[in-house]
Chain A
């Protein structure tokens, strides 16, 4: 029975990593869409979100099957619980990428009032956090996970900056509020992606250490 369970767990691991790669791809596309205000690329993200949803459901069902049939304990149990949660986080990240795409589509329709907030740095940080959180999962790297949790503060700070600048800009150009709102919400979605990446890192810590480090308990 031991070997059978190990095979099933290996399969789940491959599935979650492949979902991770799919989601990373979508986030990268969203980044390009922001940079070039590319509505076509954005539309492609929105249209293909169902692919992620399907894989997410499949992974969850497989996890439930293993829990019911093998009643795993210890590291195997922690692994499955982590996968169930990471699975959820990845799906939410894909949703946020889709939200960004929708913002980009809205922005592309309106006339550009000439306001730009540099999202490149914020995007690069967020994307890096996601990539590293998946690396931490692949390599079961606790140290890397803790670093990611720290990085989240930087993204939060950038988000606050974007908020402040948008507020100021709205005061100056009340006619462009709709545009500015959509533009600001991109920052909100990026910040959410960084939060989900942090969750993944925290799940990796739980998986390895068996300790729940959410809610600032480190």
Chain B
């Protein structure tokens, strides 16, 4: 599927009695690079004021793949995710350096307008945050401001397809003009996904999209992610290891702002190559 080669240096001297790298070695192990990346990140550092939150992270997000980012709280996975559509621009004192390109275009270029960028690279947050408007307006808002529909019927078409893709259409088609906030948590989250899809993104970022949902709503979102991956590249930050294992093809493990290991999800969860990854996913951490 994705040809992979390793750009990161091999780990320092391994522990004499183990095949795993030492806990003190923070250099990335694994396949950080893919052949045709959608998003390509090289040597990314992020600072909040004087404090550095991300250290020299190089990672590709492949075309039409789901990549999961895992790691303990404060490891920088959300910070890194937010770099990918410049959400960090809204945080005062936050500075990003290094290269991040989307289809070869530097997204931190001075000429880059963040409004179309955030349509191309949409984001879904931890807590569902529908606008205090009707279900229809929630989905139609993006296409309207981005000028994606010329006629009312076109707009209706976009709203319907987006809701269908988000697996919500059947549940809401009879009450499109009721407030979005009146839906259940899981439905609200799918509404937010529909809102993201409505502006024809290429990449969808998800920041713990299921942590406020029950197992059934979670399963629905996970099924949805699996369907969406045929059309979009998806990067998902999750605290649930099982979720990362279920939905992603590649997994990246972050620790104290460093990208420690990245590889095929199956490999990460059966034979991680870094001691820190193993400590974290097996619950031996700390």
A interface residue numbers (CB < 8 A to B)? 1-2, 5-6, 71-78, 208-211
Contact = CB atoms under 8 A, between A and B. Distances in A.
A211 B241 CA distance: 22
Given A2-B284, A2-B285, A73 B241 contact: yes
B269 A74 contact: yes
A78 B19 contact: no
Contacts of B241: 73
What are the nearest 5 A-B pairs in CB distance? A2-B283, A210-B271, A73-B269, A73-B281, A74-B278
A40 B242 CA distance: 55
Contacts of B19: 208-210
B283 A78 contact: no
B283 A74 contact: no
Interface in B227-286: 241-242, 245, 269-272, 277-278, 281-285
Given A208-B19, A209-B19, A76 B271 contact: no
A76 B282 contact: yes
Given A208-B19, A209-B19, A73 B285 contact: no
Nearest to B267: A210
Given A208-B19, A210-B271, A71 B281 contact: no
Interface residues on B, range: 10 to 19
A77 B271 CA distance: 9
Given A71-B242, A73-B241, A1 B282 contact: no
Interface of B: 19, 241-242, 245, 269-272, 277-278, 281-285
B270 A74 contact: yes
Given A1-B283, A2-B282, A5-B283, A74 B242 contact: no
B271 A78 contact: yes
Nearest to A211: B271
A210 B19 CA distance: 10
A137 to B, nearest CB: 16
A72 B271 contact: no
Nearest to A70: B283
Nearest to A79: B282
A74 B270 CA distance: 4
Nearest to A71: B242
Contact of A6 (B278, B284, B285): B284
A71 B278 CA distance: 14
Contacts of B283: 1-2, 5
Contacts of B269: 73-74, 77
A210 B270 contact: yes
A77 B270 contact: yes
Nearest to A78: B270
B285 A74 contact: no
17 contacts: A2-B285, A6-B284, A73-B269, A73-B281, A73-B282, A74-B269, A74-B271, A74-B272, A74-B277, A76-B282, A77-B269, A78-B270, A78-B271, A208-B19, A209-B19, A210-B270, A211-B271
